Structure 1
Amino acid sequence: MAATLIYCYDPMCSWCWGFRPTWIKLQKALQDLIDADQLTIQPMLGGLAIDSDVAMPDDMKHKLEGTWQNIQSSLGTEFNFDFWKTAAPRRSTYPACRACYVARDTGLEEEMYHAIQEAYYLHAKNPSDLDTLMECAEHIGMNPEGFQKTMQHVKNEQLLEEEIEQARHLGLNSFPSLALLIGNTLTPIPLDYQDHSSMLNAIKKALS
């Protein structure tokens, strides 16, 4: 029976952006186990903030900008701080999460995740806006019209909310989170943002 490594994330979570290089290294290091059918990786969307058209209050903007500065100074992660001057931020990550959910059906979830992160953190575009998400969809080769229709379907059927509820049920309440599911046993994997080897060792230990 293959174990499942659950990666719980939100595409607009700045710590997920900071974790990205180490997460890529960890996935590469796990490739042998994946090829041997001992492990599968299952992304799960966390959903930081519900749908909202309300402009973000100034105190929250300053708080989040401070988080970006903290991540940049501790991890060396690149951010484009123009976002806080030029965009009209809203506290709403569900649309970006839905975009990743939609891209999953065509095997492009990771590509969508990265496209959203780069649009947001490097190009100061707002992934709370459908226009930005449609640009990302087109960028990774999806049909923008079909993408928009499926986004609406996922919203109408509350499919994202079901997945978020599942993540909460598993106790995956912070993003990013890693947990290894073997049968009915869920083992949290402590994160190391700068070195993948401790997480790799923890996964191998749990598998043995």
Structure 2
Amino acid sequence: MTQLIYVADPMCSWCYGFGPELLAFLDTVPHAKIDLIMGGLRAYNKQVLDDATRTSIMGHWQQVAERSGLPFSDSAMPQPGFVYDTEPACRAVVTARTLTDDDTGRSALAVFHAVQHGFYAQGRDVRDPAVLSELAVAAMNKVEGEGSFDVASFAETLVSPMAMSDAREHFEQAKNWGIRGFPALLLVHEGALHMLASGYTTRDDLISTFQALTQQ
């Protein structure tokens, strides 16, 4: 079985733009297992977003929108005092991994993309545990069947010390691998890690790199 490792952050705009390319690539390797590692782009950030930083981030968003064609809401960061802390969103994906029996990783990936869509396209506050729980459970139930998960149980696990510790372990793993930029897609092949994508990468380029590595 093809084993992939996706190192990313739900509140990383280039990860959002990469989503359709990743899904299109996965369609070409339908039996692949994908393991998500959360990178913690701005995890534990406490600083209020200033105007200069907001303008810079919005510039990146414009580039992603132009490259990917994906929608961005004008209300994603509108409120005064916005703190760009990506830890809760990352923790929601980690929680999904913990609660699901789906060893292919597709349920966790669905949650990852649902959180992204909620933040970037709908302008929802994905630092809010209630919002995260709603988005995550809807995505998980879509993959595994309606009624498989409930919001209250997910919300309880999301704020648990175990979930917080697990998220921190994800961030440390990404650092230990030397990955500082997201998205990063790795292939586990012949006992080693190989980089398929470092940053936004198209489906065709992913296929080309994958074939070059696996046909050596």
**TM-score, structure 2 normalization:** 0.82
Structure 2 equivalent of residue 206 of structure 1: 213
How far apart are 1:92 and its partner, in Å?
0.5
**Distance between the aligned counterparts of 1:12 and 1:99, measured in 2?**
12
* Compared CA separation, residues 78 and 149, structure 1 to 2 (3 A): same
Distance 2:119 2:81 in 1: 12
8 Å CA contact 2:182–2:198 kept in 1: the answer is no
Choose the corresponding residue for 1:75, options 68, 74, 90: 68
Contact 1:90/1:128 (CA < 8 Å) preserved in 2? Answer: no
How many residue pairs get aligned? The number is 201
Out of 140, 153, 157, the position equivalent to 1:146 is: 153
Percent sequence identity over aligned pairs:
26
Mapping for residues 1-208 of structure 1, pairs under 5 Å: 2-31=1-30, 34=31, 39-52=32-45, 54-86=47-79, 89-104=82-97, 105-106=99-100, 107=102, 108-140=107-139, 141=141, 142-154=149-161, 158-190=165-197, 193=200, 195-208=202-215
Deviation of 1:143 after TM superposition, in Å, equals 1.8
Are the equivalent residues in 2 in contact too, given 1:72–1:79 (CA < 8 A)?
yes
Structure 1: how far apart are the matches of 2:34 and 2:125?
28
Q: Residue type matched to 2:153 in 1?
A: G
- 2:3 aligned counterpart, secondary structure: strand
Q: TM-score, normalised by structure 1?
A: 0.85
Alignment correspondent of 2:146: none
Separation of aligned partners in 2, 1:87 and 1:145: 30
Q: Is the 8 A contact 2:95 2:158 kept in 1?
A: yes
Q: How far apart are residue 127 of structure 1 and its match?
A: 0.9
Residue 43 to residue 176, structure 1, CA distance change in 2 (3 Å): same
Structure 2 spans left out of the alignment, 5+ residues: 142-148
User: What is the deviation of 1:58?
Assistant: 2.2
Deviating beyond 6 angstroms after TM superposition, the runs of 4 or more aligned structure 1 residues are none
Listed as ranges, the gaps of 5+ residues in structure 1 are none
